[in-house]
Amino acid sequence: MADTELEVRERAPALAAEPSQPTQRVERVTVIRPASRWPHLDVRELWHYRELLGRLTWRDIAVRYKQTSVGVAWAILQPFLTMVVFTFVFGRFANFPSKDVPYPIFVYSALLPWTYFASSVALASSSLVANRGLVTKVYFPRVLLPLAGVTVPIVDFLLALTVLFGMMAWFSVWPSAALLLAPFFLAMAVGAAFGVSLFLSALTVRYRDVSYAIPFLLQIWLFLSGVVYAISALPERWQWVLALNPMTTVISGFQWGVLGTEAPELGQSLVGVAATLVFLVVGLSYFRRSEPKFADTI
């Protein structure tokens, strides 16, 4: 049971009536009750608010690079410059393993899903606090805010993807048939980012410390995700431990598709999928349980 429920009952035939003729419309009954201890996600309500999700996402995209001189090029510059630095530091000097593809393209293809994940978590975790004015002044399913937060960086991802294709042509690396599975791995990244952000955004409402901890958390997470080195080069025992981090599966799965490197181990991938689902369930239930207090505590 949700904190509040939205029921739609048909009373009059739902004709295409103008909003100014309230009698001829579907009557909406809103029931307001105390918060329940075990809330669920009201999917029908989310569907009802889909336009708002679109607007919020669009707003964040529109605002993201306003009043910057290179604008949207930042979406490409960020992973690209990181790739250059990583190539020198980890590829040249440290000589990290890179699954037999040139290190620059190896690290860039890993940076794409990673950058998506990191900016999603950063953006979505602060989404409730950043939209304080909305949260305290108008009702809508709060889930929309972190959801918009993990949707916005998809645009950056798609832009940066064009550079990957350029690099693939340059290094003559060809995708495998597993490219068809790439959307699945990316969906997994979205799910993991959403799950983590649900938890962190609700926690940020209560403890502002979280916003300081997030950059640090992401930095450590980066090194546990197989971005700068190939996970497959680690001892197998560690591979299984790191499989609990969904981003390892996402990254090796994505590279499998675009670079034709070896497939991620199935068992480890399943662990990753399971971990993603756990993130989502835990994140969502913590979020929904904190939700009734957002407006009072934010």
Partner 1 sequence: MSTAIVTEELCKRYRIGELQSTYGTLRDSLAAAAKRLVHRDHRPHYEEIWALRDVSLEVPEGQVLGVIGRNGAGKSTLLRILTRITTPTSGRAEIHGRVGSLLEVGTGFHPELTGRENVFLNGSVLGMKQREIQGKFDEIVEFAGIEQFVDTPVKRYSSGMSVRLAFAVAAHLEPEILLVDEVLAVGDAEFQRRCLGRMEDLSESGRTVVFVSHQMQAVSQLCDRAILLERGRVVRDGPSGEVVAHYLQTVGGAGSSRSWPDLATAPGDDLARLVSVRVVDEHGETADATDVRRPVGIEIGFRVLRTGGPAVFPKIKVYNARRNVVFNALDTSSRWREPSSPGEYVSTAWIPGNLLNEGLVTIDVGICSLNAPKLHPHAGCVDAVSFHVQDEGEGDSARGLFTGQLQGVVRPLLEWTTDER
For binding to partner 1 (CB under 8 A), which residues are involved?
3-4, 19-20, 22, 27-35, 51-52, 54-55, 59, 62-63, 66-67, 131, 133-140, 206-210, 292-293, 295-297
| Alpha-carbon span 238 to 233, nearest angstrom | 10
29 in helix, strand or coil? strand
- Tell me the closest approach of the beta carbon of residue 150 to partner 1, in angstroms: 19
| Token pair for 114 | 């990673």
Closer residue to partner 1 in complex, CB, 60/156: 60
> Measured from the CB atom, is 151 or 269 closer to partner 1?
151
CB of residue 29 vs partner 1: minimum separation in angstroms?
Answer: 5
Residue closer to partner 1 (CB basis): 112 or 144? 144
For the CB of residue 13, give the shortest distance to partner 1 in the complex, in Å.
17
Q: Which is nearer to partner 1, 190 or 210 (CB)?
A: 210
3-state secondary structure of 39: coil
CB of 259 to partner 1, least distance (A): 38
**At closest approach, how far in Å is the CB of 143 from partner 1?**
14
Alpha helices in 65-143 (DSSP H): 74-86, 103-125, 127-130, 132-137
Which CB, 131 or 225, lies closer to partner 1?
Answer: 131
Residue whose tokens read 């958390």: 217
State the residue for tokens 């790739």. Answer: 83
Q: Any idea of the CA torsion for 223, 190, 72, 124, to the nearest 10 degrees?
A: -90
Distance separating alpha carbons of residues 47 and 53, to the nearest angstrom: 9
* Residues 164, 160: Cα–Cα separation, whole Å: 7
